Structure 1
Amino acid sequence: MPVTLAILTAAGAAVLGFANGANDVSKGVATLAGTGRASYRTAIAWGTLWTLAGALASFAISAGLVNAFTSAIVGPEVLALPTFPLAVATGAAAWVIFASLTGLPVSTTHAVTGGIVGVALAAGGAGSVRWWVLLSGIAAPLAVSPLASAAIGYAVQGFGARVAPACVCVEESGVAAGLTGADGAASAVFAPGVVVRTCRCAEGGGGLPAGGTGGGWRLFPAQALHWGASAALSFARGVNDNAKIAAIGALGLTALHADLRVAFAVTGRR
């Protein structure tokens, strides 16, 4: 692979990663901003942080996914094409950017898969695509995922409906103690303290529940779970999508490395 082509492939993978982040980060934190729990900027920053963490983690735990989006779908004759990774990255990035600009729902997984299949069909025809692997290993999970998410969401909603009204109240409190001085005079001393207890309170209401003795805080488990769920979604998306994009870039770098080794070997013999 010429150096110029390798650079273009790396640039294409980078553009695809940019388009993916611009489109998908907001999905993981949309409910945080939509419900008013966080400002748009705060929600995006939260999603970006956990997406980055997932992307870094993908280098250690996503080897199988990288294989699924390269050698598992098409044959080695397609992977050996010097233009294969560039064509896939360009096609996927172009569609994701177009969908993002026009407000269409889009999936990076669908875009990358379509790009791989399109290049394989153009290069070697229908016989160059491993259709059974494509259908069973990629298309089937993509079709099942909305149903699985719906079932899990249905179950979690029942649990959340019971948790949402509850909160943890942290209140300032104190204990009055009687003291007798050296002169026999009695006095009272108020010792400050903190009381932590579960309580029921309307979310968004200010102040403390009845019975509080001063300043304090309300901690809402439902809000904590909401933030945690958005973090988990962003992390998982980073793990999943980064592996696919990295696979495309890795193909270009691998081919470039092989060409450089050949060039060095030829130069050394001279």
Structure 2
Amino acid sequence: MKNKIIKNFFFLKNLSLLKLINLNFILNKKTIIFWTILFFIFSAIMIFLCLVGCGNRTIAFQTIFDEHSQYPWDHLSFSDAINIGVFGYIETIFITIMVASLSKKNISKQIDTGNIFFWLLKPVKKSKIIISKALFIYTITFFIWFINFIIFAAFMTEAKNDMENYKFAVLQMINYLVLMILLETIIIFLNLILSNHDEWFNIIIWFFVIYLGLCFYNYFQWNTKIVNLLDFHNLIGNTLYFNREVVWKTIVLDSDAAGMTSQNIFEHVKINLWHFFIGYILSIWAIVLINYLLFIKFIKLEFNI
């Protein structure tokens, strides 16, 4: 069935870049649907956890303190949902696995099995083939990011007592898009140069997933400077980070003769502008450079029938 679709496409007189991208979407339809549903279910769960529970909804990190029990507890804030969830560690793990699987299926596996020759049946430049495959993967992740961005931007307006941090949350979500484009570019490039060494590509991907898990644990438990420095998500600088030792605002939720229940909202950490701008410049420079190397490597490949 797939071969028939490919052949029908190549009967077209003008095989443009958009048609090549469309062909990739057709051949990966089931995979795209699976990952899209998974990402949106995860996003819905994170939004639900931010909206339920006691206390006011906040963007900043917060704790609820009940004098009756003398025990503070955390209530998931939008910054937590962004930093660890939909625009953070968990989402990055999902994206890493998704991009790795799509790269293997559409690049290294096609080279290894010889199916890449279907793409060379007509006078199509090699550069156009690899560009179409890269843009295909970029488009999927951008679509997922954009829908999540709209959803979070809308629901964060519920944090009426914490709108001062809204702009920092929006900026952090945009930062995440740049980081994901960089991550995808690296994965696609690694998949191409290791097309004949699939086992090494798998090892690198799983090591990176384990590394993300350690960074995720550090966010909650260790909070050590060394791990924060090596955290991929801090390459540009986290614009949605809060000092968990400095209370910015306290809101009384309930009060009676036995005591009161209060909500502590913590102070936003000032953005390091040098880190921010240098991180952006290096990220964009790396994306351009690695994509250039990707195109050069693919063009120089010799396909033997």
TM-score using structure 2 length: 0.29
Q: Flag the structure with larger Rg.
A: 1
Structure with more contact order per residue of length (Cα contacts < 8 Å, sep ≥ 6)? 1
